[in-house]
Amino acid sequence: MKKIYKLILPLILILTLSSCAYSEPDAKFTVTALGFSEEKNTVNAYLQAIDFATTENGNINTFLTQGEGDNIPLALSNIKSKLSKAPSFEHCQIVFLSDGIEGELLKHTLDCLVRLGMSQRVTLAYTKNIEDALSSGKITSGNEMVSLIKQNAKEWGFGGHTALFEIKTAVLENGGNFALCHIETKNEEIKFSGLAEYKGSQKKKTFKP
């Protein structure tokens, strides 16, 4: 019997410490894009998720929802309270940062992304108007936006993707440089319009082609 206990104990420890949990794939909203902006000391969070109820035959339909709060967790919490299912951030492809997400707020945003379990695959981009970018008619999901950015960024000799940990390191070092793709929205279309350069946690300038 002791042998059985010896076997079961590590198993339970592994399972509990790894926060292993069962959840049905259709019992959550798959988030494809996120966006954060700040206005008058209020953080606005935008969440784009797939609406499986209307997704058929390979056509992905997404919906956009918004929440406000004094800080990023509160803004996200407001969004969650509007949703009928829990959002799943594991497949979020792109995170838009807008004006105001700088300094301490940028640090908090990056921390939040790590806590949400976002992988290194996530692409960070800068845009002035997140709502327009996420609800533009022709490009409907984060996946497609990332494809578009990468395609256009190639022409600039830029990969279109800066790994999350690289950005985090640059921000924490307080002086490191990094660049994000600059996205503009025009006539319900989004387009790659250059690079937004950050020094430490501050946005410095935008390079245009």
Partner 1 sequence: MADKNFKINLTDNIKTVEDIFSGDSILRKRKFTFCSLSACLFYFDGMVNVELINESIIKPLVKSKAEINKQKAAKQVAERLLFASEIKMTSNINEAVSAALYGDTLLLIENSHTAIVINTKGWRTRGISEPENERVLQGPREGFDEAAMFNVAMLRRRLQTPDFCAKVIRLGRKTNTYVFVCYIKGLVNEETLRILKYRLSKIDIDSVLDSNYITEQITDHKASLFKSVGATERPDIVAARLLEGRIALVVDSTPVVITLPYLFSENFQSDEDYYINYKLATFGRLLRIICFFLATTVSAVYLALATFHFQFLPPAFAITVSSARMGVPFPSALECIILTLIFEVLRETGIRMPQSVGHALSIVGGLVVGQAAVEAKIVSAPMLIAVAFSGICGLMVPRLKTAVFYLRFIMIFAAALFGLYGILCVFAVTVISVLKMESFGVDATLSLNNPTCQTLKDVFVRAPWTKMITRPLIQKRNVIRKTK
Enumerate binding residues for partner 1 (CB under 8 A): 11, 14-15, 18, 20-26, 28, 30, 32, 50, 52-53, 55-56, 60, 88, 90-91, 93, 117, 119, 143
Residues whose CB is less than 8 angstroms from the CB of residue 96 and which lie 6 or more positions away in sequence, other chains included: 33, 34, 35, 36, 46, 124, 125, 126, 127, 130, 133, 134, 183
Write down the least CB distance from residue 109 to partner 1, Å.
Answer: 20
Q: What is the DSSP letter of 53?
A: G
Backbone angles phi, psi at 18, to 5 degrees: -90, 10
Nearer Cβ to partner 1 (15/172)? 15
Nearer Cβ to partner 1 (74/116)? 116
Write down the least CB distance from residue 93 to partner 1, Å.
Answer: 6
* N-term to C-term CA, the chain: 71
Write down the least CB distance from residue 95 to partner 1, Å.
Answer: 14
Write down the least CB distance from residue 70 to partner 1, Å.
Answer: 29
Nearer Cβ to partner 1 (41/57)? 57
Q: What is the DSSP letter of 25?
A: G
Nearer Cβ to partner 1 (33/179)? 33
Nearer Cβ to partner 1 (90/102)? 90
Contact call for residues 198 and 177 (beta carbons, < 8 A): yes
Residues whose CB is less than 8 angstroms from the CB of residue 143 and which lie 6 or more positions away in sequence, other chains included: 32, 60, 93
**Across 100-188, where does the E strand assignment appear?**
123-127, 177-186
Write down the least CB distance from residue 151 to partner 1, Å.
Answer: 17
